[in-house]
Structure 1
Amino acid sequence: MPTQPALNRRILHTEWSLGWGGQEIRILREMEAFRARGWHMQLVCREASTISKRAIESGFQVSHLPFKSAFHLPTVFGLAQLIRRERIDLVHTHSSVDGWVGGMGAKLAGVPMVRSRHLSSPVRRGLNSKIVYDLLPEAVISSGRHIRDHLVQDGGCHPERQYSVPAGADTSIFHPGVSVDGLRASFGFAETDQIIGIVAVLRSWKGHEILLEAFMTLAKEMPQARLLIVGEGPQRPTLQRRIQEAGLEGRAVLTGHRTDVANVMKIMNVCVLPSLKNEATSQVLPQAMLVGTPVVSSSAGGLTEVVADGVWGRVVPPGDVPALAQALREVFAQPELTQKMALRAREHALEELTFETQIDRTEAVYRKLLS
């Protein structure tokens, strides 16, 4: 917890997205953490969004605006009025559309704005990027060091306004002592089965199909190999069909959305994140590390900031099925080395990748702008 008392300031988060994934989860978790520290947190978003429903359920004051486009003036003026009416001290934006709208609304209302950059996709140097990442915001919080460096070196942004705050995991939830009683059996797995797992929204760029192809190879070599796919999303029908076509029903299981992620991670022999692109850093990898589960990751985006190859886990090129299959073979063929890396990974996560550290770093940015 911070050594300084709460400033009793009012923070307004904005989010254009209708969906529910890592970005939206991070926003809501940060709002909950800051509320626990004595800050007043509000959200403005689209009425049909999942984050609206979840934030209301969590007891937050939620306002709705249309966010029809980045330059939708009724939303800009409506947001400025909301900021003044609610006596907001700082606006924190997260997506492209609300980054523009939130920035302009904050300027009209005369309050500072923080812009978060959650994705690792390149930002083109040009006037638009200069405005939204350098002129509108007083600070930009990137989800990884490589994103911050890219905005400075390639985007032409002022370095003193750029901050790197990787996502962290909650040590009260993700720890080696989580219960696993009966969990393997609930998925139809035996205690001796070797479980390869992935926890991610079922989106194409998360690399589920790459992992499934690698698993098809391993399944022929390792009779006890099992695949556990945790999450929900648009790729589910495709993955289900491929599992059926490969005759892997019972060996590859789609769990759907789970609320007991820490417990499920604990029964995995290895947790894999084979993302193809767009990864800033990861919320899943620190979670697995803190639970004590070995990890294999692709090198997409900023994932190598979380997993150093051969130190805290194994890293493979994005989309490389043979390399991923080989890395997974090594996990099971070299158990002592795998366990040593898992122990080092947990120590690393405790030092750098906890949720408490994430909130401390974000709060430091807020305090600097509000001092």
Structure 2
Amino acid sequence: MSQRILHVIQSLERYTPADELLTLLPTLAALECQQSVLVLGRGGALAGAFAEAGVELRCLEQRWTFDPSIIGQLVMHVRRTSPEVVHTWDRLSRRYVSAAAASSRGWRFVANWSSMEPARLRIGMPMFFPRTPDRWLVESESVRESLSRQLTDSAIAVVPPAAAPATSDATRRGELLAEFGLPDDALLIGTAGQLVVPLGIKELIWAVDMVRVLHPNIRLLIAGDGPQRDHLQHFAATAAVPENICFLGDTDRWCDIVPHLDVYWQGTEVQAISPTALLTAMSAGVPVVASDTPQHREWIEDNQNGFLVGYDARADRTRITDQLLVDAELRQTIGEAARQHFHEHYMPAARAEQLADIYRQAKL
């Protein structure tokens, strides 16, 4: 018997929870979830892909940081569509739904809480008495323990993140290098995410300039867009060798590009971004060198299926990357361990089945 599920999310930008939701939609539909998506903002780069997924999609076009009209629109939308479950995918959507649903019943409230959020939990909006979610979803056991100290009487389920696996090697490496105007012998380091300060792109630019001393043919491919892009491009042109840094923009080809990377870098600070790009790199068997943060420790076992270094430890990042570039056997061993770890823990089908069970079991 099908269930009506309303997904509420802040935006449909890449490298946000929207990536994961888009990946899960088809499998959830196959599990008899009748889904619709409500976006607080105006949409984003993934809006077209969501439309192609065949779900009802509506954007509320939030105008301010706190837009009271969103609460009223949420109330009206829920009354019109009568979902059985409302699932919020980020902190902002959770707070709006909590405020809008303060006196509402007749549907179950499922909410994500991530290690990327501030340690102090906030439920609803100011001036409202929020409704607490019926079921909280967290990405790991350590996050569950942290949240349970704040919500002693709440139901909390551990559901690991999921990401789209990298596509098969349909594009030859030579074709990819020619497309981006790169030399035939280029060594490729990649990173992807929204270009905001916590992504740590400046640190990666400094680090790749150090790698360049050992490997002059190195290239850092940066996929994504955001408010820091112009600033980062100027920084790369003045603080490093510009031809070693390639800004790819908001490309939809990340899953095609990632199998050709020699190393993937994640430079984020604590509480920074969605893990989808990192997990996709692991799915392709690409060795990952990531910042040593609580978030990354959930997905990477240091020296086993990837490497963890200090956020600003450029020398350590350079040293490990050099080892991976010169030692093909090490690169293959770490990459294969990453691929296996991804397929054991982060495949979309398993995540969708867990969600479908939670939707059925959440109590009013």
1:140 to 2:136 alignment? yes
Report % sequence identity: 21
Question: 1:86: which partner in 2?
Answer: 81
Question: 1:117: which partner in 2?
Answer: 113
Measured after TM superposition, the shift of residue 201 of structure 1 is: 1.9
- Identify the range of structure 1 (298-307 vs 241-250) with the bigger mean alpha-carbon deviation: 241-250
Question: 2:39: which partner in 1?
Answer: 45
Separation in 2, partners of 1:216, 1:285? 22
Distance 1:204 1:180, change over 3 A: farther
Provide the alpha-carbon RMSD of the alignment: 3.0
1:49-128 aligned within 5 A = 49-50=43-44, 53-54=47-48, 55-56=50-51, 58-65=53-60, 75-106=70-101, 107-124=103-120
Q: 2:282 aligns with which of 278, 289, 295?
A: 289
TM-score, with normalisation over the residues of structure 1?
Answer: 0.85
1:356 to 2:352 alignment? no
Measured after TM superposition, the shift of residue 77 of structure 1 is: 4.7
Secondary structure, aligned partner of 1:195: strand
Question: 1:150: which partner in 2?
Answer: 146
Question: 1:179: which partner in 2?
Answer: 171
Secondary structure, aligned partner of 1:234: coil
Measured after TM superposition, the shift of residue 73 of structure 1 is: 6.4
Secondary structure, aligned partner of 1:183: helix
Instruction: Look up the equivalent residue of 2:215 and give its one-letter code.
Output: M
Higher relative contact order (CA 8 A, sep 6+): 2
Separation in 2, partners of 1:94, 1:369? 16
Measured after TM superposition, the shift of residue 305 of structure 1 is: 1.4
Instruction: Look up the equivalent residue of 1:120 and give its one-letter code.
Output: M
- 8 Å CA contact 1:226–1:251 kept in 2: the answer is yes
- Identify the range of structure 1 (135-144 vs 266-275) with the bigger mean alpha-carbon deviation: 135-144
- 8 Å CA contact 1:312–1:345 kept in 2: the answer is yes
Measured after TM superposition, the shift of residue 214 of structure 1 is: 0.5
- 8 Å CA contact 1:148–1:164 kept in 2: the answer is yes
- 8 Å CA contact 2:94–2:123 kept in 1: the answer is no
Question: 2:5: which partner in 1?
Answer: 11
- Identify the range of structure 1 (218-227 vs 24-33) with the bigger mean alpha-carbon deviation: 24-33
Separation in 1, partners of 2:183, 2:45? 37
TM-score, with normalisation over the residues of structure 2?
Answer: 0.87
Separation in 1, partners of 2:248, 2:270? 24
Question: 2:156: which partner in 1?
Answer: 162
Distance 1:67 1:146, change over 3 A: farther
Measured after TM superposition, the shift of residue 41 of structure 1 is: 0.8
- 8 Å CA contact 2:12–2:18 kept in 1: the answer is no
- Identify the range of structure 1 (39-48 vs 251-260) with the bigger mean alpha-carbon deviation: 39-48
Separation in 2, partners of 1:152, 1:254? 41
User: Unmatched 5+ residue regions in structure 2?
Assistant: none
Distance 1:70 1:41, change over 3 A: farther
User: Unmatched 5+ residue regions in structure 1?
Assistant: 1-6
- Identify the range of structure 1 (214-223 vs 176-185) with the bigger mean alpha-carbon deviation: 176-185
- Identify the range of structure 1 (213-222 vs 39-48) with the bigger mean alpha-carbon deviation: 39-48
Question: 1:3: which partner in 2?
Answer: none
Secondary structure, aligned partner of 1:115: strand
Separation in 1, partners of 2:65, 2:181? 48
Separation in 2, partners of 1:146, 1:327? 27
Measured after TM superposition, the shift of residue 321 of structure 1 is: 1.9
Q: 1:208 aligns with which of 201, 210, 214?
A: 201
Separation in 2, partners of 1:190, 1:83? 54
Separation in 1, partners of 2:13, 2:123? 29
Measured after TM superposition, the shift of residue 128 of structure 1 is: 6.6
Separation in 1, partners of 2:66, 2:223? 38
